[in-house]
Every structure is written in C-alpha cells, then in structure tokens.
Structure 1
Amino acid sequence: MPAVPDLPRHTLALEDGDLHYTQAGSGEDVVLLIHGSLCDYRYWRWQLPALAEHCRVLAPSLRGCWPAAHHHPQAGYRVDAHAHDLIRLTRALGIEQGVHVVGHSRGAQVAMAFAIQAPDLCRSLTLADPGFRFDDEPETPPFYTRTVELLQAGDIDGALEGFVDTVNGEDTWRRMVGWFKDMARDNAMTLLSQILEANTPVPWRDAAALRVPILLVGGSNSPAKYGTRQDRLQQIQPEARRVRIALAAHGMNLANPRAFNRAVLDFVDPVRDPAPGISAS
C-alpha cells in the first residue's frame, strides 16, 4: 500500500465562507470522497494515495469540520448545504464531466443529496454504510443524544467513546490509533450541529429516480442497522451492486483499506483490471 504523504490543503473561497479540501492524482476519472461524522479529509488517509495511482481524487472537509471546526451549533451545518458546497467545488475545478461520488456514513447522505441535486455531475454513486432514513419511514430518537449531553458538560472523550463504540462496536474508541482520536476530538463539537437535523430524511422517490450506477458497501461486522439501510436501497434501486468488506465494521476503509480501495476502483472502472497490489480481503 502506498505511504501516506503529507496532505496538501487547498481552499475554495465561496461567497459565504471557505471550503477546505485536499487532492491527489490525475486523469479524467475523478473520485470525490465524502467523510462522515467526527471526521474530515484526513479520514481518507489510506484511500488518497492508493486511488491516486489510478485517477484523480478529491477529498473535502465538510464546512464546519476541521480545519474550521468551531462555533457550533451552526444552522448552516446541514446535509443539503454540504452537497451544495461540493457541487460548487466540482464546478469551480472545471470538472464538467462529473465525479464518482463516494460517501461514508453521514457522508453517504451528503453523497445522495449531491446525486439528487446535480445528477449531471454524478457519474456513479458509492454509499458505504449509509444510515439515513427515507421520508416514508418513521423518525427514531438520535442514538447520540447522550453524546451531546456529555459534550455540553465538557466530557469530550467520554462523548466520543460512546459515539464511536455505538457505530463500530464495543471498545473501539479505546483501541483506536492516536491520529484518529485527534481527528475526532478536532470535530467533536460538530455533533452539536448535527443533532439538529438528525432525522432529516431522503425522499425515496428522488432516490428511486436516480439513473446512475450505485454501489452499496458494508462492513462484514458493521451494526445491523447499516445492513437494513442497504436492503432498503436495493429495493428502491434493484440494479445497485453490493459488496461486503471482510474483517471490518463501520470504519471499513480504515480496517481493511485494500479491500475497500479495490471495491471502489473496480466499480469506478469495470473495464480496468484489478488494481495491482490491492487484494480482496
């Protein structure tokens, strides 16, 4: 696997604020990586160099996240606003042919919003452990209400432990590497904004109307709720492909990056031979 280089930081100045991103590689195939909760573009440290050997890769930090994770809660920290930012980024960089959109967890809902808002710019859609509900399904209480209470009380690590262990499995936070914990701490306060839109649904009719290749990716050890989301998506989009990443839970791209990277590359370009050096599990 390629070594992780220092990630160059770029900034797109928008009329209502700045969007920070990194990029690597070159070529006509462009992959847009969208991170989930508590993360930023550093989350893709094992994807950027590997995918960049085959295509151009863009990884933004959603606005409100590091390196500008402050002043939360903020009303503009919303899925539809994030998607609008990424559409503007794609157009500002002159990528008129569109991008292959990859979203993880909450980022999968941002990816879905991108595809719905700008279908002309979405060449394919990869959703890794999406957790969103559809608008014909009932609301459920956010699982991280207690997390937000702990954040407000100043117990940052206690809050993060509860959140991360819920989405990835018991004792995950304790065993996580230092760089991931630092990233999560940098973005902890974003949950104060995120909980304000915790039950924002995806319109199922809009999802069903998408005419774009879709890949559903799940970790073999992910909590069951993520599998049920993929089941529903396959009902809505019967042509969607589905893969499971072995030896991995919700953070599948970190736990088994070789398999995750191969799944993305093989989907983005089905004609391409399996990427050298990337095994299936």
Structure 2
Amino acid sequence: MQTLHVNGYDMAYLDVGRGSPLVCVHGTLGDFRTWYAVLGPLSRQHRVIAVSLRHFFPEHWDGLGDDYKMAQHVADVIAFIAQIEPKPVDLMGHSRGGHIAFRVAQARPDLLRKLVLAEPGGELDATLDPAPPALAEPGARISASAEKVGDGDIDGGLRIFFDGIDGEGSWTRAGAAAKQQLRDNARTLIGQVHENRKPYSKADAQSILTPTLFVGGADTKGHLPGITRALAPEVAGAQTAVIAGSRHWMFEQAPQEFCEIVLNFLAS
C-alpha cells in the first residue's frame, strides 16, 4: 500500500503491474481491496492503481465531519490522477465509484483516455426517467442502512444494503472476507446520506466525450440496470457488455469474463 497527499488527505492505493495506467475507483462500502479478484489479469497488461477514497479503509472513520461529499470525492480523484504519469489514464469505476468516474470524465476529459463504468450508481432526473417513484429506492436503502449502523447494529445495516442490491439472503451467503471489508467501511454509510449527489441528466450523459464502456451483471436486481440503460444510449459511441450469470459485483462473480471484456475495450 502507498499513499498520495490529495487535497489535504493521504489517499491510500495499491499500484501493481506495468503498462499504461488504469485507475480503479470502488463503490459504496468498498476500498482498494474491491478489485482483488481482477488485479492479477488486469495488471498483466496495465499498471493498475486501485484507490481507497477519503474516509474508507485503511482509515476507520467515525462518521463525523462534513467532508464526505460526492463533490469532494470527485475532486480527490481528479487531484490523484493529476499526479499519475503518464497521462491520459484509463479510469474504471464500480457502482458509486462509477458515478465518481462519470463526473471526473465530465469535468476533466483531458485526463482520461478511456472510461469503464461497471453499473454506475446514482439517480436519474426527469430528462432520463419521467417516472420518479423509482428514484427513492437507493436513497431510502442508504438511509435505512445508515440508521442501523449509527445505532450500533453494523451487520443489520449492512444486510439491508447488501440484500437490497444483490438479492434477499445475499448478506448471509457472503464470504467472511467480503463481510469484513464491508464492516471496515460501514460508517461511510452515515456520510453518504448527506453526500449531495446530483442525479444524472441527458445533458450530462451527452457531455461525455471519453470513449466509454458500460459493464453490467445480467442478474443484477433493483434500479442499477436502469441507470445503464438510460445513460448508455446518450453517451456518444458508448459500448455495453452484460455478463451472464453475474450480479452487481460482476468482477468477483465472473472475473475472467470481466477482465476479457475490459482488456479488449482498453486495447481497441
């Protein structure tokens, strides 16, 4: 593990392999360990740099303070990439990290060569989805999970979050290592309730100029597949890949296929 001083914070990251840089951004409750299943294959062709965002493991945050914001994490990733050579870099984000990567591509396309969005998280505004009731789903789940965590019921809060994305009973079936990673980052849910994340708009999607690949799991539940279906047609030239038999953490459930898809896209 290494660190870079970014906007007054020491951002931890893993740096493995050689070649053109591929910066990887984890999602909610993740950290640089999120990408363990694919670090080996990806690092055979790229220098893979997996970051831990502000307040995630190895920090054990207490949930206090007001700097857990979407804008702060986007600014941190931009400042981090600005210190990486050579540029432009390839950028890959999963879930909430996909939202961050999307916003980085909006703000600083000059830093990026290609963009991979693995089921990016977030909400859609009325220009992309005229049916707002579904928009409450992710926010309500985060709030319910965060309330449990704040009351000291860590596993109860994580169960609400995990089962809501990967299906009923997923938390119970998860392995010990996966559960521990989520526990290590549980209090970041408290910050996420008030992160001020803006919904995607059609104009946002149409502003993305970086060559983009969307990757999804064929069996992912909930609202996330709809995010990809709404965004991908509006991003000029975007490619989409769906991995059969996998869900939201598709790079853990089908790592070989995920790596083949990503590496082919980055090489094209």
TM-score of the two chains, using structure 1 as the length reference: 0.87
**In the alignment, structure 1 residue 264 sits paired with structure 2 residue 262:** yes
**SS of residue paired to 1:260:** helix
In the alignment, structure 1 residue 178 sits paired with structure 2 residue 176: yes
- Go from structure 1 to structure 2 and tell me whether the alpha carbon gap of 1:80 and 1:266 turns closer, same or farther (over 3 Å shift): same
Deviations 1:136-163 (A, max 9, x none): 4555243222211211211111111111
Give 1:212-223 correspondences, 5 Å limit. 212-223=210-221
CA deviation after TM superposition for structure 1 residue 74, in Å: 3.1
- 1:11 aligned to 2:3? yes
Deviates more, 1:47-56 or 1:71-80: 71-80
Contact 2:27 2:97 in 1 (8 A): yes
Secondary structure in 2 aligned to 1:196? coil
User: 150-159 vs 222-231, which deviates more?
Assistant: 222-231
Establish whether residue 79 from structure 1 lines up as the match of residue 77 from structure 2. no
1:91 aligns with 2:72: no
2:117 is the counterpart of 1:119: no
Query: AA paired with 2:95?
Result: S
Please report how far the alpha carbon of residue 127 of structure 1 lies from its aligned counterpart in structure 2 after TM superposition.
1.0
Q: Is the 8 A contact 1:142 1:198 kept in 2?
A: no
CA distance, structure 2, for counterparts of residue 148 and residue 122 of structure 1: 34
**Which residue does 1:279 correspond to in 2?**
none
Secondary structure of the 1:69 match is coil
Higher relative contact order (CA closer than 8 Å, sequence separation 6+): 2
Deviates more, 1:148-157 or 1:190-199: 190-199
In structure 1, distance between residues paired with 2:125 and 2:259:
31
**Do the aligned partners of residues 14 and 224 (structure 1) sit closer, same or farther apart at CA in structure 2, a change above 3 Å counting?**
closer
Tell me the CA shift for residue 135 of structure 1: 4.1
2:100 is paired with a residue whose SS is helix
- Cα distance change of structure 1 residues 226 and 155 upon mapping to structure 2, 3 Å threshold: same
1:170 shift after superposition: 1.4
The alignment's C-alpha RMSD in Å is 1.7
Corresponding position: 1:149 with 2:139: no
Q: Which of 27, 30, 43 is matched with 1:39 structurally?
A: 30
Q: Indicate the SS of the match to 2:204.
A: helix
Indicate how the Cα distance of structure 1 residues 20 and 90 shifts in structure 2: closer, same or farther if over 3 A, else same.
Answer: same
Verify: 1:252 aligned to 2:268, yes or no. Answer: no
Query: Deviating runs (4+, > 3 A) in structure 1?
Result: 134-139
CA gap 1:133/1:171 in 2 versus in 1, 3 angstroms: same
Partner Cα separation in structure 2 for residue 45 and residue 34 of structure 1: 12
Deviations 1:228-271 (CA, angstroms, capped at 9, x unpaired): 1111112312521111112211111111111111111011112x
Identity of aligned residues (%): 33
Q: 1:25 aligns with which of 14, 17, 21?
A: 17
1:198 & 1:191 partners in 2: Cα distance? Answer: 13
Structure 2 portions without partners, runs of 5+: none
Q: Deviations over 1:39-69 (max 9, x none)?
A: 1000100121110001111100001101113
State how far apart, in whole Å, the 1-side matches of 2:163 and 2:78 are. Answer: 32
**Which residue of structure 2 aligns with residue 53 of structure 1?**
44
2:191 to 190, 193, 199: 193
Structure with the larger helix share = 2
Q: Is the 8 A contact 1:169 1:249 kept in 2?
A: no
Matched residue pairs, number? 260
The answer as to whether partners of 1:142 and 1:195 remain within 8 angstroms in 2 is: no
Alignment check: 8 A CA contact 1:34 1:108 kept: yes
Rounded Cα–Cα distance in structure 2 between residues aligned with 1:144 and 1:86: 23
Separation of aligned partners in 1, 2:251 and 2:170? 15
Q: Secondary structure at the match of 1:45?
A: helix
- Secondary structure of the equivalent of 1:212? coil
